Chains A and B, each alone.
Chain A
Amino acid sequence: MTTLKATVDAPIAAAPPMSSYARDYLRRLRGGEMGALPAVLGLVVLCTIFSIIKPVFLTPVNFANLLPQGAAVAVIAMGLVFVLLLGEIDLSAGYTSGVCASVLAMVLLNFNVPWYVAILAALVTGTAIGLVLGFLVAKVGIPSFVVTLAAFLAFQGVVLLIIKEGQIVSIQDSTILAIGNRNLTVVQGWALFGIVVAGYAAVQVTRAASRRGRKRPYDPMNLILMRVAALAAVVGTAVFVLNQERGRLASVQGVPIVVPIIVTLLVLLTFVLRRTPYGLHLQAVGGNREAARRAGINTDRIRISAFMICSTLAAIGGVIAASRANSVDARTGGSDVLLYAVGAAVIGGTSLFGGKGRIIDAVLGAAVVAVINNGMGLLGYSAGIKFIVTGSVLLLAAGVDALSRRRASAAGLR
């Protein structure tokens, strides 16, 4: 009864031993299903190297800087996961965030509206952009590469027109400025820690209990405990470090406000992708569009909605970027933002071939990109070298993706 493989004739009710989980994981790893491993390993290696060469890398100040620096890219990358899952691409996501940030800034500047109205205007702009892109791809049938490349060019112009050629529009609203610049209090930081860890534990335990009740195979309690402990250790350390006093003149301490925003998006979007029929259908369309169509799934609607989600998240990224920079100018969301975001998704393990990708990929990948940027900056390398290294890492990640596909097909897994 206690074998790992639940044979269909006798579904096991008892939990399998822990060692079988390790074996199963190794088997998947060898088969080319590497999941988050490359990104996590890369993160560890990069952090080790940077902290040895430049000890200032490992200070609370720098760690606290890293998070808002990478936040916009992480959010845009989350949106790109939806589009990449379909095997499509959105090259305009960077400038979409720029357009939405410009809308935010101009609405604040020209109309005396509260901050949430301005943010709503930015998000609606993003959703509308996604609707148009998705319509052109799904209904008109133009390849997404071309549609979004055209949008990439056009949106640069739109940003220039909205902010009237090369101006810098500063943002005064204190609530919006707080998103990218302020921190939670120490107590709020620990409350966040408690909510995240307790929430994760609750989800794991109730799932195991419900599966056990239905006599389906379920994760054993000690595995769940290990997972929760690992999460608590990582999150606890981060909160502890961020709660250290790091100000020189005035007191600065606490978890940056972007962190709960990213955690909320991570949980919400993961839920949508993994636990709802919509998320399943999205993955099905990415895996085999014809099969999805025959299963009665409205593939056009799914594809349009993915572009809408992507552009809406780009808008959120734009709001964070504008808040972080205290202003919007012609370069907001431009130049490297899109490449960093695509790089983040792919480095995290999202496949460019469609059908494979998770929201956590985007966050981990964005962390890698942010660490490279931050560390290389600390080491005093020029922007030129930074671009080359980031480009190489993206290429490496795409190479790992392509090779793991080949490995999977060689192992008979595809």
Chain B
Amino acid sequence: MSMVNATDASPLLEIRGLYKSFGPVEVLRDVDFSIYAGQVTALVGDNGAGKSTLVKCISGIYGTDSGEFRFEGRPVTIHDPRDAAHLGIEIVYQDLALCDNLDIVQNMFLGRERLSGIVLDDPTMEQMASDTLASLAVRTVSSVRQKVASLSGGQRQTVAIAKAVLWNGKLVILDEPTAALGVAQTAHVLELVRRLADHGLAVVLISHNMNEVFAVSDHIAALYLGRMVAQVKVTDTTHAQIVELITAGRSGNIGLPADADAGDAFAENGVEQ
């Protein structure tokens, strides 16, 4: 894991003019989105604003109608999840996608096991899993051979995030990682999110919690009815402004122009999956 200086110079992933519709319903309209290495970019928006769709376009689960993706400055196309994984894009889904009946090591290596001959190379995998957790300063997990079933919500989140790091993800997208967690665990996971960025990874954090967003992010990107209405530095904005952007798509002189949101605004409601 290289320590990259966080600079705004050039984004790790830059999306320009992304359109996506499901049949007649236009879910994403002319979306621009820049994600920087070493920084946490919060992606906010009301239910149905298109956050999940945007993430699924980035991860290759959905194809796009049009739009340009540049990864590390090179134009790329992401057709399926494997393309995304190949670029180093790792997504931690809300439902975490862990197998309860397997242990931490088995989950972290699932589908990409290390072998010696034809058998699983357990000592090596254990060591790598331990090292990854240690590099993230995770101390809450007592044994990497614990079944995931026996872990708390926060610990599961930690395992899911560590899995992304283990596979040398350059961009980690976290879909509401704290939605189901208690206060202490939320704090722990947020610390981990911050640490990922400090390690030089680009992090996208989807969240509904403004305190959380302001606590850990460097940038905030607000989606409103399928449009990216603003992407601002967290130091240049306030709670109230972001809430306005989320609910009205506009706040003072940022966001949509004053007359743009009246007509076809509510077409996209309820399409977020």
Q: Which of A280-308 touch B at CB < 8 Å?
A: 280-281, 283-284, 286-288, 290-292, 294-297
Q: How far is the CA of A78 from the CA of B170 in the complex (A)?
A: 44
Residue of A6, A8, A284, A296 with most partner-chain B CB within 10 A: A8
B133→A297 contact, CB < 8 A: no
B99→A292 contact, CB < 8 A: yes
**Which residue from A216, A291, A297 sits with its C-beta under 8 Å from B126?**
A216
**Provided the pairs A8-B130, A216-B127 are in contact, do residues A287 and B120 lie with their beta carbons within 8 angstroms?**
no
Interface size class of B (residues with CB under 8 A): 35 or more
B99→A31 contact, CB < 8 A: no
Q: How far is the CA of A7 from the CA of B107 in the complex (A)?
A: 18
Q: Which of B137-166 touch A at CB < 8 Å?
A: 138-139, 141-145, 147, 149-150, 152
Q: Provide the residues of chain A in CB contact with B139, threshold 8 Å.
A: 7-9
Interchain pairs with CB closer than 8 A, number? 97
Q: Is A413 an interface residue (CB 8 A)?
A: yes
Interface size on A, residues (CB 8 A): 35
Q: Is B134 an interface residue (CB 8 A)?
A: yes
Q: Is B98 an interface residue (CB 8 A)?
A: yes
Q: How far is the CA of A291 from the CA of B110 in the complex (A)?
A: 9
B147→A9 contact, CB < 8 A: no
A8→B120 contact, CB < 8 A: no
**Provided the pairs A275-B119, A280-B106 are in contact, do residues A5 and B142 lie with their beta carbons within 8 angstroms?**
yes
Q: How far is the CA of A215 from the CA of B131 in the complex (A)?
A: 13
Q: How far is the CA of A401 from the CA of B244 in the complex (A)?
A: 52
Q: How far is the CA of A276 from the CA of B122 in the complex (A)?
A: 11
**Provided the pairs A214-B123, A294-B81 are in contact, do residues A5 and B99 lie with their beta carbons within 8 angstroms?**
no
Q: Provide the residues of chain B in CB contact with A8, threshold 8 Å.
A: 130, 133-134, 138-139, 141, 144
Contact with B along A114-151 (1 / 0, CB 8 A): 00000000000000000000000000000000000000
Q: Is A98 an interface residue (CB 8 A)?
A: no
Q: Is B111 an interface residue (CB 8 A)?
A: yes
Q: Provide the residues of chain A in CB contact with B126, threshold 8 Å.
A: 216
Query: Which A residue's beta carbon lies closest to that of B137?
Result: A9
Q: Which of B91-134 touch A at CB < 8 Å?
A: 93, 95-102, 106-107, 110-113, 115, 118-120, 122-124, 126-127, 130, 133-134
Q: How far is the CA of A281 from the CA of B99 in the complex (A)?
A: 10
Q: How far is the CA of A31 from the CA of B151 in the complex (A)?
A: 13
**Which residue from A216, A280, A408 sits with its C-beta under 8 Å from B149?**
A408
Q: Is A210 an interface residue (CB 8 A)?
A: yes
Query: Which A residue's beta carbon lies closest to that of B91?
Result: A294
Query: Which B residue's beta carbon lies closest to that of A297?
Result: B111
B100→A355 contact, CB < 8 A: yes
Q: Which of A256-297 touch B at CB < 8 Å?
A: 275-277, 280-281, 283-284, 286-288, 290-292, 294-297
Q: How far is the CA of A7 from the CA of B140 in the complex (A)?
A: 9
Q: How far is the CA of A414 from the CA of B138 in the complex (A)?
A: 21
A210→B123 contact, CB < 8 A: yes
**Provided the pairs A277-B113, A294-B81, A414-B149 are in contact, do residues A284 and B102 lie with their beta carbons within 8 angstroms?**
yes
Q: Known pairs A216-B127, A283-B102, A408-B149; list 5 more (Cβ under 8 Å).
A: A8-B130, A8-B141, A11-B127, A211-B122, A214-B127
- Nearest 4 Cβ contacts at the A-B interface: A295-B111, A287-B99, A287-B101, A355-B101
7 contacts between A and B (CB under 8 A): A6-B145, A8-B134, A287-B99, A288-B100, A290-B95, A291-B99, A355-B100
Residues on A close to B: CB < 8 A? 5-9, 11, 31, 210-211, 214-216, 275-277, 280-281, 283-284, 286-288, 290-292, 294-297, 355-356, 408, 412-414
